[in-house]
Amino acid sequence: MGILDGKRILVTGVLTESSFAFHVAKLAQQQGATVVISGFGRMSLVERIASRLPEPAGVLEVDVQNDEHLDSLADRLREHVDGLDGVVHSIAFAPQAALGGSFLDAEFADVSTAVHVSAYSLKSLTMAALPLMPDGGSVVGMDFDAQVAWPGYDWMGVAKAGLEATSRYLAKYLGERNVRVNLISAGPVKTMAARSIPGFDQFEGVWDKRAPLGWDLSDPEPAARGVVALLSDWFPKTTGEVIHVDGGVHAVGA
C-alpha cells in the first residue's frame, strides 16, 4: 500500500530518464497512483521514455504557450482518467540570449518567453486542469532557489522568483477549492535542462562544499520524493510553501 493509492496524477515535463519529472512519475506509480505524463516537442522521445515507467501511462502533448493545448487539456485527460488529484509542474525554458551572463543585454522578447513558460504557466496549467479537480487536490512545481543571484542563471532566476510568487497567489485564491499549491526547490541535477544553462558547472562546487547532508548531482530521487510527499494526503494544510530539497545549502552561508 502506497501513500498515493488511488490518486490520479498529471506529471508534466517528462523528456529523459534523468529528469525530475520522470522520477516523480516513477515514484508516484510505485506509491499507487495512476499517472498521465506530458511533454512538448519531441513526442516520440516522450513515448519512448514513458515505456520505461513501471506501469503504462497515458501520454499527452502540452505546450503551455498554446491556448488550444490548454483549452483541450481537461478533455484529453478524460481519455485516460476520470479526474485528477494532483498536478506536477516541471516546466521551464529560457532562450539562450537570456542566460549565460547576458542579463544586461537580454531583449524583452526573450525575457517574456522565460517568464511565460517558467512562471505564468504554473497558473495556466493549473487552471486548465482545475475542472478535473472538483474536490481539490495538490499542485506541486519544481523550483530552483530564487533568493539569490546565480552565475549564468540570469533571467531564468527572475522567472523562478516569479514562479515562487505565482505559487503563493494560487495558494491564496485556490484554497477555498481545497487545492494546495507548493514548490520543491531542488538542488542541481545534471538533467538535459540543466546542461543547457551556461555556467551550470559552477554550481557543482557550491554543493560539494556547502551541503550539510551532501548532494549527488546525478540523483533526482530526493527531490522526486519531496514532490510525491506533497502530492499525498500527509500535507493536508500546507500550501504556498517552498520546500527545499537541496542537502541544506539554502540554510548555510559558508
91 is in an annotated binding site: yes
94 is in an annotated binding site: yes
Which residues are CB-neighbours of 235 under 8 A, at least 6 positions away? 138, 180, 182, 229
Examine the residue annotation and report whether 160 is marked as an active-site residue of this protein: yes
57 is in an annotated binding site: no
Produce one character per residue of 77-109: b if its CB has 16 or more CB atoms within 10 Å, e if not: beebbeebbbbbbbbbbbbebbbbebbeebeee
192 is in an annotated binding site: yes
List 120, 160, 172, 173, catalytic entry: 160
Examine the residue annotation and report whether 26 is marked as an active-site residue of this protein: no
25 is in an annotated binding site: no
191 is in an annotated binding site: yes
List 26, 153, 209, 237, catalytic entry: 153
Instruction: Walk across the sheet containing 34-39 and list its strands.
Output: 58-61, 34-39, 8-11, 86-89, 137-143, 179-186, 242-245
Report d(CA 166, CA 160) in Å as an integer. Answer: 10
Closest C-alpha among 167, 169, 146 to residue 157: 146
Binding residues: 13, 63-64, 91, 94, 160, 189-193
Binding residues for NAD(+): 13, 63-64, 91, 160, 189-193
By annotation, the residues acting in catalysis are: 153, 160
Binding residues for substrate: 94
